Structure 1
Amino acid sequence: MKRNYFIALLILLSINSYSQINVADKSKEPVIKGIPYDGSFMNFSNMMLTKEQKAGVVGEKITLFKVWTVKNADGSNISYTDSEKFENKTFEVIEYMYEYKDILKIKNEDEVFLFEPSLTDEYVFNSFLDTIKMRLENKFLIPLKLKSEMETIKGDKIQIDGLKEYLITEVTFAKLPSGFGIVVKLNGEFEVIYPTGTFDQLEDKGLLNLESSDIFKTKSMFIKKEYFKKFSEFNRIYLSSIRNGKVEIGMTEKQCILSWGIPTNSMNNIAGYDNVLIYGDTGNSQNLYFKKGILKLIK
Structure 2
Amino acid sequence: MSNERPIGFIDSGVGGLTVVKEAMRQLPNEEILYLGDTARCPYGPRPAEQVIEFTWQMTRFLLKKKIKMLVIACNTATAVALAEIKKKVDIPVIGVIQPGSRAALKASDSGRVGIIGTIGTIKSDSYKHELQEKAPETYVSSLACPKFVPIVESNQYNSSVAKKIVSQTLSPLKKEKLDTLILGCTHYPLLRPIIQNVVGQEVTLIDSGAETVSDVSTLLDYFNLNNYDQTAPKAKKFYTTGSPKMFKDIAGQWLDITDLNVTHIDLGGE
TM-score between both structures, scaled by the size of structure 2:
0.23
Larger RCO of the pair (alpha carbons < 8 Å, separation 6+): 2
Is the strand fraction higher in 1 or 2? 1
Is the helix fraction higher in 1 or 2? 2
